Amino acid sequence: MLLPRIFVVTLVCLFAAGLPVRAETACRFGTPPTVLVEEGDPHEIGSRLLKVWEVEDNPVFWSETTPGSEAYSKFRGEVADLDIETDPVHLLEGSSIENSRIVHRNADDWIGPAGCLEMLMYGHQHARMNTFTDPTEFGSFILRSPDEERLRVYFYTNNQDGLGNMDVIVTPVLEDKREGWDVLVALHSHVFHPGQPEINGILAPSEPDADFHANLHASLGLREGWITNGVHTVRMPSSSFDDFTRPSGRGEVSNPYE
Ligand SMILES: [Zn+2]
């Protein structure tokens, strides 16, 4: 059957412009992740999980659109029910370390509501292990493909309240970097610990975190270091990495006061 001429012209124009048929507006990965490492039951010491989603780089991922998933809604429902402090500046005032002071001075520029990607991953981990009964952290890298069309979103957790050595997640990111992927963001969580002001969802890097970010900038060209508590996220530009206090020893990712 011959297509009406106007329809053919429209199709040609769409393809010529490289436009997707339907832009995704929902905050969701849409495809299952590839599991790279899965060892042990989540509640077992020494267990760990590493997976990666590869998705089209859609603007919704960088927006504040809330995921439709039950996992994240459940977390926010619990935050509301517990009636805990979530103001990120007030929380920073409970932390005595110098790095918290640095973020406090830059809070207006660096801290904002958690975005789609952080909310997706936070909800995922909260559904696996509840923040308020089994507080655990996750770490992530977000990379953009050489053709700037796709994202790789790595997700890692050792199911502990402190991630420790990150070599297992850095290794595949190094490989991607060699293949031309742009390492946009290193993200990890600092979860709420109501009643423990020094570690209560503090959106500032510990000294080992600061060291991790600076080293990744030097080795991978990391652009930003993010820390989220699931409600807000601090996004530190690489130009700030040298301002933070770092330890003299080898860096591992941890809560600010560990
Ligand atoms: Zn940390």
Question: How far is the centre of ligand 1, averaged over its atoms, from the C-alpha of 196 (Å)?
Answer: 16
How many Å separate Cα 35 from the centre of its chain? 17
Does the structure show a pLDDT above 70 at 125?
yes
Range of the domain at 173: 29-243
Give, for 55, the enclosing helix (H) or strand (E): strand 48-56
Question: How far is the centre of ligand 1, averaged over its atoms, from the C-alpha of 199 (Å)?
Answer: 10
Task: Give pTM, 2 decimals.
Answer: 0.88
Instruction: Round to whole Å and give the CA distance between 155 and 132.
Output: 21
Q: Spell 147-179 as b/e; 16+ CB within 10 A means b.
A: eeeebbbbbbbbbbbbbeebebbbebbeebbee
| More confident site: 247 or 235 | 235
Question: How far is the centre of ligand 1, averaged over its atoms, from the C-alpha of 24 (Å)?
Answer: 32
Is 19 a member of any domain? no
Question: How far is the centre of ligand 1, averaged over its atoms, from the C-alpha of 65 (Å)?
Answer: 25
Hey, what are 217's tokens? 């900038």
Is 186 a member of any domain? yes
Whose tokens are 């997706």? That residue is 120
Give, for 37, the enclosing helix (H) or strand (E): strand 34-39
**CA dihedral sign, ordered 233, 236, 241, 245:** negative
Is 10 a member of any domain? no
Residues 6+ apart with CB under 8 A from 29: 53, 55, 120, 153
What is the tens place of the pLDDT at every residue in 58-107? 999 999 999 988 999 999 999 999 999 999 999 999 999 999 999 999 99
Question: How far is the centre of ligand 1, averaged over its atoms, from the C-alpha of 16 (Å)?
Answer: 45
Does residue 201 contact residue 86 with C-beta atoms inside 8 Å? yes
Question: How far is the centre of ligand 1, averaged over its atoms, from the C-alpha of 64 (Å)?
Answer: 23
Question: How far is the centre of ligand 1, averaged over its atoms, from the C-alpha of 256 (Å)?
Answer: 6
Split into its structural domains, the chain has a count of 1
Is 220 a member of any domain? yes
Q: How many CA atoms lie within 13 A of 97 on its CB side?
A: 24
Question: How far is the centre of ligand 1, averaged over its atoms, from the C-alpha of 100 (Å)?
Answer: 12
Does the structure show a pLDDT above 80 at 229?
yes
Phi and psi torsions of 256, nearest 5°: -60, -35
What is the tens place of the pLDDT at every residue in 177-207? 999 999 999 999 999 999 999 999 999 999 9
Question: How far is the centre of ligand 1, averaged over its atoms, from the C-alpha of 204 (Å)?
Answer: 8
Is 78 a member of any domain? yes
How many Å separate Cα 196 from the centre of its chain? 23
What is the tens place of the pLDDT at every residue in 2-50? 444 444 444 444 444 445 555 689 999 999 999 999 998 888 888 899 9
**CA dihedral sign, ordered 157, 113, 184, 215:** negative
Is 9 a member of any domain? no
Instruction: Round to whole Å and give the CA distance between 164 and 253.
Output: 5
Is 130 a member of any domain? yes
Is 209 a member of any domain? yes
